[in-house]
């Protein structure tokens, strides 16, 4: 693929001793003002290597660069070497590559032969799928798509929270206050209601906690009634979760949750013993991490029951044996940083060299009006409710603007869900998010629907051209006709896409793509509003339609990478 930045890096390399093209590539930057050039090389760092002033270096490089078809002119300004590209050559190279690549534009094969395991979403069985789960789900789904687009074999795992003392509490609540009819009628909402009631009643009667511990012990020991209730709660939950995943267009390769590893922890505990890593502390068994300046990693409680760390270690070993991953990524909240550091270190102490291939991808917390989400207090917003409300609002907008639109319910679903996902992925993942109905359902400005509308606009233009006898798939175009500021800026924005994909993969940051799409949509709309496209002038029409087609391809590819649909009509 044509990459102007790389071409200039290769031109400069023979003139800068001690630097490889890839090092020069990293130094090149885009000037803040297009009038200062398309690319610039700041020469300040080079002064230490070449023992000359930045101004002198820039002037000497400008004089020494041979004529090249990629470059129109070069200017040396205050220690910067500014490159003005040959616009005609650049535009033709970029647009031809996009047209030839189609839905592969921006993809690569850097991950060929490598496997990435991504652990994301992980809702807790018998608890609501609320907005707090959206972050892990949307970030993980986008990372899965980004890695797959980059040639990796991807394995998406939904590590369900389907085990633990909460099931003892829920069974206790069901036995005291529940009924089969109420659960069958209200499903998870009834289970949540029972769970909340348990905590309220347990504050008044502590014996309920003892009863809950007894039920969980019976569950761990394989008690038939306890297992039957647990499986029933799990089946109800999975059926409801699938409705949410369908709205989000998210799928997984594995649903192995915590319960799957019940019979896989004993070998882990035995290996820890064999390595003399387990120590007793107040009746519990721990791995001492004081030499790493961390609290101990708790492996077994005093009563012999296992913990999250025990299961995570067992799961990582199972995944390495099953998938032989090159990288295993865990998409969870920033509050779990210490937990992952601890058990990653335990994996290292157990002698597994692949400990370095384990990555925690943290994200900021989600709150409602500054208060943290908590199922036990009922302070949650159900994700399905949010998605349905976004879909309803989208349908209202469609009815107002285009009431006769075909498949408008499906399109409303795609755009409503897209608004929610896009809003979640727009900020850097590490930032905290304060949930707001008004903000998440605002479709104006830098939003998913804005980008989706722009994609639909490109489709509409191409369809109108096709109806007039122009086949956008077989366009011949004269790139020299695309000589306006808006056209050139749009091409430059289109050319950034492969690098943005690479950057998003490297930094594990989907928001890079989300923000890029807003910038691309804005560049397209400036071009659209300033220039007629379906003209009488055949050659200019074909050139501009090629630009429209390239924008459509890139918007589509980018939207799919963050988990959004790209509707052709809205």
Catalytic residue among 5, 89, 133, 256: 133
Cα 196 to chain centroid, rounded: 32
Task: With H, G, I as helix, E, B as strand and everything else as coil, classify residue 187.
Answer: coil
Do the Cβ atoms of 98 and 477 come closer than 8 Å?
Answer: no
Q: What stretches of 195-352 adopt beta strand conformation (E)? A: 278-281, 284-287, 297-300, 327-333
Do the Cβ atoms of 310 and 342 come closer than 8 Å?
Answer: no
SS3 string, 431-458, reads: CCEEECHHHHCCCCCCCHHHHHHHHHHH
- For the range 273-277, what are the long-range contacts, defined as Cβ-Cβ under 8 Å and sequence gap of 24 or more? 275/349, 275/350, 275/351, 277/346, 277/349, 277/350
Q: Rounded to an integer, what distance in angstroms lies between the CA atom of residue 121 and that of residue 421?
A: 13
Q: Rounded to an integer, what distance in angstroms lies between the CA atom of residue 176 and that of residue 518?
A: 53
Quote the tokens at residue 570. 């809205």
Query: What size, in residues, is the chain?
Result: 570
Known active-site residue 404: no
Catalytic residue among 5, 127, 541, 542: 127
Quote the tokens at residue 323. 């998938």
- Dihedral of CA atoms 76, 77, 83, 87 in degrees, nearest 10, equals -120
* Residue 9 per-residue DSSP state: H
In terms of Cα–Cα distance, which of 429, 337, 388, 515 is closest to 135? 429
Q: What stretches of 259-317 adopt beta strand conformation (E)? A: 278-281, 284-287, 297-300
β-pairing verdict for 39-42 and 80-85: antiparallel
Task: With H, G, I as helix, E, B as strand and everything else as coil, classify residue 379.
Answer: strand
- For the range 19-28, what are the long-range contacts, defined as Cβ-Cβ under 8 Å and sequence gap of 24 or more? 19/49
- Dihedral of CA atoms 225, 230, 234, 237 in degrees, nearest 10, equals 100
Q: Rounded to an integer, what distance in angstroms lies between the CA atom of residue 447 and that of residue 515?
A: 10
Q: Rounded to an integer, what distance in angstroms lies between the CA atom of residue 262 and that of residue 501?
A: 39
Q: Rounded to an integer, what distance in angstroms lies between the CA atom of residue 194 and that of residue 170?
A: 7
Known active-site residue 531: no
Q: Which residues contact 416 (CB under 8 A, 6 or more apart)?
A: 387, 388, 390, 391, 392, 393, 394, 395
In terms of Cα–Cα distance, which of 111, 48, 105, 53 is closest to 79? 53
Number of alpha carbons in the 13 Å side-chain half-sphere of residue 34: 10
Quote the tokens at residue 50. 């070449």
Known active-site residue 133: yes
Which residue do the tokens 């500054």 mark? 370
Catalytic residue among 5, 89, 97, 130: 130
Task: With H, G, I as helix, E, B as strand and everything else as coil, classify residue 402.
Answer: coil
Which sequence positions are flagged as catalytic?
A: 127, 130, 133
């Amino acid at each position: 693929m044509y990459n102007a930045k790389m071409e200039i890096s290769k031109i400069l390399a023979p003139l800068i001793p001690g630097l490889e093209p890839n090092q020069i590539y990293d130094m090149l930057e885009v000037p803040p003002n297009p009038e200062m050039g398309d690319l610039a090389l700041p020469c300040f760092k080079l002064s230490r290597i070449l023992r000359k002033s930045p101004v002198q270096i820039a002037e000497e490089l400008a004089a020494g660069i041979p004529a090249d078809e990629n470059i129109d002119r070069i200017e040396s300004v205050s220690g910067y070497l500014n490159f003005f590209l040959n616009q005609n050559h650049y535009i033709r190279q970029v647009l031809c590559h996009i047209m030839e690549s189609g839905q592969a534009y921006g993809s690569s094969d850097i991950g060929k032969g490598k496997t990435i395991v991504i652990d994301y979403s992980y809702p807790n069985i018998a608890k609501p799928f609320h907005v707090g789960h959206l972050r892990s789900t949307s970030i993980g789904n986008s990372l899965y798509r980004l890695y797959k687009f980059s040639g990796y074999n991807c394995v998406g795992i939904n590590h369900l929270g389907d085990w633990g003392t909460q099931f003892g509490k829920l069974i206790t609540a069901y036995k005291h206050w529940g009924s089969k009819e109420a659960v069958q009628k209200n499903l998870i909402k009834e289970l949540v209601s029972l769970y909340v009631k348990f905590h309220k009643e347990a504050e008044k009667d502590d014996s309920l906690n003892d009863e809950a511990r007894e039920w969980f012990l019976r569950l761990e020991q394989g008690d038939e009634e306890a297992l039957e209730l647990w499986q029933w709660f799990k089946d109800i939950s999975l059926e409801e979760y699938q409705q949410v995943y369908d709205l989000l267009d998210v799928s997984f390769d594995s649903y192995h949750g915590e319960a799957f590893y019940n019979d896989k922890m004993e070998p882990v505990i035995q290996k820890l013993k064999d390595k003399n890593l387990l120590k007793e502390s107040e009746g519990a068994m721990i791995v001492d991490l004081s030499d790493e300046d961390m609290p101990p990693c708790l492996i077994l409680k005093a009563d012999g029951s296992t913990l999250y760390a025990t299961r995570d270690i067992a799961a990582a070993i199972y995944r390495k044996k099953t998938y032989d991953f090159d990288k295993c990524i865990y998409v969870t909240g920033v509050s779990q940083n210490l937990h992952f550091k601890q058990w990653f270190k335990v994996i290292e102490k157990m002698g597994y060299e692949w400990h370095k291939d384990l990555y925690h991808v943290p994200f900021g917390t989600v709150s409602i009006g500054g208060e943290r989400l908590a199922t036990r207090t009922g302070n949650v917003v159900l994700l399905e409710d949010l998605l349905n409300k976004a879909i309803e609002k989208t349908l209202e907008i469609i009815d107002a603007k285009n009431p006769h639109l075909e498949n408008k319910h499906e399109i409303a679903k795609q755009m409503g869900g897209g608004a929610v996902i896009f809003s979640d992925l727009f900020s850097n993942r590490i930032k905290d998010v304060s949930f707001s109905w008004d903000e998440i359902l605002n479709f104006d400005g830098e939003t998913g629907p804005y980008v989706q509308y722009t994609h639909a606009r490109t489709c509409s233009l191409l369809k109108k051209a096709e109806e007039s006898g122009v086949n956008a798939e077989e366009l011949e175009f004269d790139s020299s006709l695309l000589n306006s500021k808006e056209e050139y800026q749009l091409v430059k924005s289109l050319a950034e896409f492969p690098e943005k994909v690479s950057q998003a993969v490297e930094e594990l940051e989907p928001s890079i793509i989300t923000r890029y799409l807003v910038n691309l949509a804005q560049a397209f709309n400036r071009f659209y509003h300033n220039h007629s496209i379906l003209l009488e002038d055949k050659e200019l029409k074909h050139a501009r339609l090629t630009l429209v087609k390239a924008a459509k391809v890139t918007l589509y590819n980018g939207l799919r990478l963050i988990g959004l649909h790209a509707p052709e009509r809205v």
